[in-house]
Amino acid sequence: MTTQGFEKTKLPLTFIIVGAGLGGVAASICLKLAGHNVKLLENAKELGEVGAGIQIPPPSTKILEAIGCLDKVSKASVHPKDILVHRYTGEIISQQNLIPHVQDKYQGQYLHIHRADYHKILVDRAKELNVEIYLDSKVVAIDFEKTTVTTESGITHSGDIIVGYDGVRSTTRNLLTGRNDGAYDTGDLAYRALIDVEDMKKVTGLERFYETPNITFHYGPNIHVVIYFLHQGQLCNVVVLCPDTLENNHFREEATKEELLEMFKDWDQDLSKIFNLIKDVGKWKLQDSRELDTWVHRDGGNVIILGDASHSTLPYLASGASQAVEDAAILAGLFSKIESKDQIQDLLYLTENLRKWRSSQVVKGSKNCQNIYHLPDGPKQQKRDSLLAGPKTLGYPNRFADPVFQDFLWGYNAFDEIERGWKEYKAGIKSTYNYPNLYLNGEEAEYANINRTN
Structural contact between residues 417 and 341, judged by C-beta atoms closer than 8 angstroms: no
Length of the chain: 454
Note whether 431 binds ligand FAD by CB under 6 A: no
Alpha carbons 166 and 156: distance in angstroms, whole number: 17
Residue 138 or residue 383: which is nearer to ligand FAD going by CB?
A: 138
The one-character DSSP state at 67 is T
Note whether 408 binds ligand FAD by CB under 6 A: no
Residue 19 or residue 35: which is nearer to ligand FAD going by CB?
A: 19
Note whether 76 binds ligand FAD by CB under 6 A: no
Note whether 322 binds ligand FAD by CB under 6 A: yes
Binding ligand FAD (rule: CB under 6 A), the pick from 4, 11, 37, 44 is 44
Alpha carbons 369 and 347: distance in angstroms, whole number: 33
Note whether 213 binds ligand FAD by CB under 6 A: no
Note whether 186 binds ligand FAD by CB under 6 A: no
Binding ligand FAD (rule: CB under 6 A), the pick from 35, 307, 395, 421 is 307
Note whether 244 binds ligand FAD by CB under 6 A: no
The torsion angles phi and psi of 327, rounded to 5 degrees, stand at -55, -45
The torsion angles phi and psi of 39, rounded to 5 degrees, stand at -110, 120
Note whether 336 binds ligand FAD by CB under 6 A: no
Note whether 324 binds ligand FAD by CB under 6 A: yes
Note whether 271 binds ligand FAD by CB under 6 A: no
Q: Which stretch binds ligand FAD (CB under 6 A): 175-183, 318-326, 377-385, 441-449?
A: 318-326
Binding ligand FAD (rule: CB under 6 A), the pick from 94, 171, 186, 371 is 171
Alpha carbons 148 and 348: distance in angstroms, whole number: 17
Taking alpha carbons only, the member of 400, 56, 90 closest to residue 219 is 90
User: Cis ω on the peptide bond leading into residue 100 (within 30° of 0)?
Assistant: yes
Residue 26 or residue 450: which is nearer to ligand FAD going by CB?
A: 26
Q: Which stretch binds ligand FAD (CB under 6 A): 193-201, 314-322, 346-354, 380-388?
A: 314-322
Spacing of C-alpha 186 from chain mean position: 16
Q: Which stretch binds ligand FAD (CB under 6 A): 84-92, 98-106, 137-145, 439-447?
A: 137-145
Least Å distance between CB 111 and ligand FAD? 10
Question: Which residues make beta-bridge pairs with 230?
Answer: 235
Taking alpha carbons only, the member of 416, 403, 430, 245 closest to residue 346 is 430
Structural contact between residues 39 and 16, judged by C-beta atoms closer than 8 angstroms: yes
Least Å distance between CB 50 and ligand FAD? 9
Residue 219 or residue 422: which is nearer to ligand FAD going by CB?
A: 219
Binding ligand FAD (rule: CB under 6 A), the pick from 61, 94, 103, 319 is 319
Q: Give the nearest residue (CB) to ligand FAD.
A: 21
147: left (phi over 0), alpha (psi -120 to 50) or beta: left
Binding ligand FAD (rule: CB under 6 A), the pick from 13, 16, 17, 19 is 19
CA distances from 30 to 26, 166, 294, 354 (A): 6, 17, 23, 17
Buried b (16+ CB within 10 A) or exposed e, 413-443: bbbebbebbbebbeeeeebbbeeeebbbeee
Binding ligand FAD (rule: CB under 6 A), the pick from 28, 29, 38, 55 is 55
Give the interface with ligand FAD as residue ranges (CB under 6 A).
18-24, 41-44, 54-55, 137-139, 165-167, 171, 190, 192, 239, 284, 286, 307-308, 315, 318-322, 324
